Chains A and B, each alone.
Chain A
């Protein structure tokens, strides 16, 4: 199971055109292999292109070079519709700013991804979402409005929302960036454990070494490339 290939990046590049006409090479050649159930940590200083990489991994954006494969299928140039399909079914996002939907209760936020599912997942969305919130320890805050909850609680809602469709990969972009150290550690532990229990791969992007330390495989992003960190290099 854990040897099954999920994501493969080969020489992935992302170049954007700046308003003045110059090209900015954010990513030059990224190679990465993620298998089912992997926990990968990527560290990098601010502005090195971590979010850009995460957007590519989650099919929110397309590479300008190299190839990106999802479970053996080349998805470098798939249509927006197909990308949306894969995102809905296989990807869960956790963002730095939580990105909860304003004006919706905790339960409605966790139910939101199920609105893009069909069949049983859609019709039983309330039950499924409530169970998920219970799993992150918020079973008693179903009808709470996110803006009245603490940062840690909000991020737990976001984690529940990311996992509610049982994705094969969870992408977390600075999940502790807006939290104090203690809360951050707690949230990271929850994210690590919840993804582990659901069998999903977890890719965490962060500028915080301590957060990355939780991951089994670690990389550093610099100069548009991924560099394996000590243990990874040893493997």
Chain B
């Protein structure tokens, strides 16, 4: 067993050596046909990689709107179209969420015209009252401090989680947590305690989150602009939305309720660059085919000149199988080398600082180059090499020794 494995290993290594020598001899012709293969592999790899990176970025940004499956629920008075008070709708929502066994459910209560004040400055902020499940629903990451907890509603000073923009605009960068900030406006006047900072991508206005319970407690005059949301398994999510709608209506007789799925998967935001991707892959496929054909052409022309050489190798003890494999390896070694170059080109193109600066402008954390795209490129190169090598290899294996070395 071990001896056989060792023979296979040396056979593979030796075939590669032979193939490499043969390629070295025809280097210019081989090089030219490989340019095509390298370019094609580069474009396929780059396209697939860009597609995957884009998809991941889109997915991440969509998921901050709510991870699939996401159900949004709102309730309003049918007669005047006015939203209903939180005091009325929230208990109904909590009852329904509990009845359907939904783990991740949160209110989203917006408070406008709130001014945050620190020793240094004073800014208008966007304050939202949420349940602890909000972080899971929107994939909120809190690298500094912590997210809101159920027990925060007992605190005398409401706990607050803010975004980077908030810290920056209120001159709190570098201040150790927890730290306090005054919130005023719309019937609210309280000193809140910042317990965490999220890494959310900001859009100018400082944002802050506090528990819905705290917001309701500290804001006099019940807030009304509220929505509700759930994160449920994708399987059967549409039916669940319908059932929740019915259950909410039953809890709130005579009122209008809307419950519907609104995550990106529900409206098919699957592959943002789908069609372009297929066009590029199609063109690359044609280039690849041309590269393979010219490689095949070289191999077929040279095999005629090499019949004698194959006979000589057979006299050293090369079996027909070995001759077949070695000749095939010539194409494979060549295209794999070209494939490697192609993959490197693709990485250089996609991870280029210029591309990151101008094409992906403003996005701070671009995902890494997907390994799967690199492997795909290499696999394509290998397959093309094997395909171009099979015909000359068959011819080589048929060479009759005594005819080949006849003087």
| Chain B associates with chain A | yes
A108-B21, A119-B6 given; A87·B13 CB < 8 A: no
Residue A97 at the chain B interface, CB threshold 8 Å: yes
Q: Output the least CB separation between A13 and chain B (Å).
A: 16
Q: Are A99 and B318 in contact, CB atoms less than 8 angstroms apart?
A: no
> In the bound complex, how far is the Cα of B309 from the Cα of A200, in angstroms?
25
Residue pair B407, A96 in contact (C-beta under 8 Å): yes
Contacts of B7 in A (CB 8 A): 118
**A81 interface contact, C-beta 8 A:** yes
With an 8 A cutoff between CB atoms, is B313 at the interface? yes
**In the complex, A88→B7 CA distance in Å?**
14
Residues of the A chain whose Cβ atoms lie less than 8 Å from the Cβ of B3: 118
List of B residues within 8 angstroms of A96 by Cβ: 407
CB distance from B235 to the nearest CB of A (A): 56
Of A51, A61, A99, A115, which contacts B14 at CB under 8 A? A115
Could you tell me if B312 and A88 are in contact, using CB atoms closer than 8 angstroms? no
B405 CB contact (under 8 Å) in A89, A99, A174? A99
A45 contact set on B, CB distance < 8 A: none
Residues of B within 8 A of A70 (CB): none
**B25 to chain A: closest residue by CB:** A103
Q: If A95-B405, A99-B405 touch, does A87 touch B315 (CB 8 Å cutoff)?
A: yes
A116 and B318 within 8 A (CB) = yes
In the bound complex, CA of A54 to CA of B291 (Å): 44
- Interface status of B401 (Cβ within 8 A of chain A): yes
B354 at the interface (CB under 8 A from A): no
Choose one: B6, B13, B21, B308; the contact of A99 (CB below 8 Å): B308
Over the window 1-15 of chain B, the binary record of Cβ atoms lying under 8 Å from chain A Cβ atoms (1 yes, 0 no) is 001001100110110
Docked complex Cα distance between A61 and B69 (Å)? 73
Candidate in A87, A173, A174 with the most chain B CB atoms within 10 angstroms: A87
**Are A122 and B10 in contact, with the CB atoms below 8 A?**
yes
Do A112 and B313 touch (CB < 8 A)? yes
CB proximity of B81 to chain A, nearest CB, Å: 84
B13 & A60 in contact (Cβ 8 Å cutoff): no
B301 at the interface (CB under 8 A from A): no
**Is the Cβ of A119 less than 8 Å from the Cβ of B316?**
no
CB-defined contacts of A119 to chain B, threshold 8 Å: 6, 10
With an 8 A cutoff between CB atoms, is A136 at the interface? Answer: no
The answer to whether A101 and B309 touch (CB under 8 A), given A51-B407, A61-B402, A118-B10, is yes
Chain A stretch 76-109: residues in CB contact (< 8 A) with chain B: 80-81, 84-89, 91, 93, 95-97, 99, 101-104, 108
Q: How far is the CA of A122 from the CA of B11 in the complex (A)?
A: 9
CB-nearest residue of chain B relative to A55?
B402
Cβ–Cβ contact B402 & A116, under 8 A: no
A41 within 8 A of B: no
**Chain B 285-320: CB-based contact to A (< 8 A → 1; otherwise 0):** 000000000000000000000001100111111111
- Assess the B407–A81 pair: CB atoms within 8 A: no
Residues of chain B within 8 A of A84, CB atoms compared? 314, 317-319, 322
Task: Kindly state the separation between the CA atoms of A103 and B21 in the bound complex, as whole angstroms.
Answer: 8
Question: Is B17 among interface residues, defined by CB-CB distance under 8 A?
Answer: yes
Interface presence of B18 (CB below 8 A):
yes
Given that A101-B309, A104-B21 are known contacts, is A116 also in contact with B316, CB under 8 Å in the complex?
yes
CA distance A97 to B309 in the complex (A): 12
Contact with B along A169-198 (1 / 0, CB 8 A): 000011000000000000000000000000
Q: Does A113 contact B (CB under 8 A)?
A: yes
Q: Does A63 contact B (CB under 8 A)?
A: no
**Contact status B322-A116, CB under 8 Å:** yes
Cross-interface CB contact of A88 among B25, B309, B317, cutoff 8 Å? B317
Point out the residues of chain B lying under 8 angstroms from A104, CB to CB: 21
Q: What would 18 A/B residue contacts be, using CB atoms closer than 8 Å?
A: A58-B315, A61-B401, A80-B320, A81-B321, A84-B322, A86-B317, A87-B317, A88-B318, A96-B407, A102-B309, A112-B313, A112-B316, A113-B316, A115-B18, A116-B14, A116-B318, A118-B10, A173-B407
Known: A80-B320, A103-B25, A116-B313; 6 extra A-B contacts, CB below 8 A, are A51-B406, A81-B320, A87-B315, A88-B316, A96-B407, A101-B309
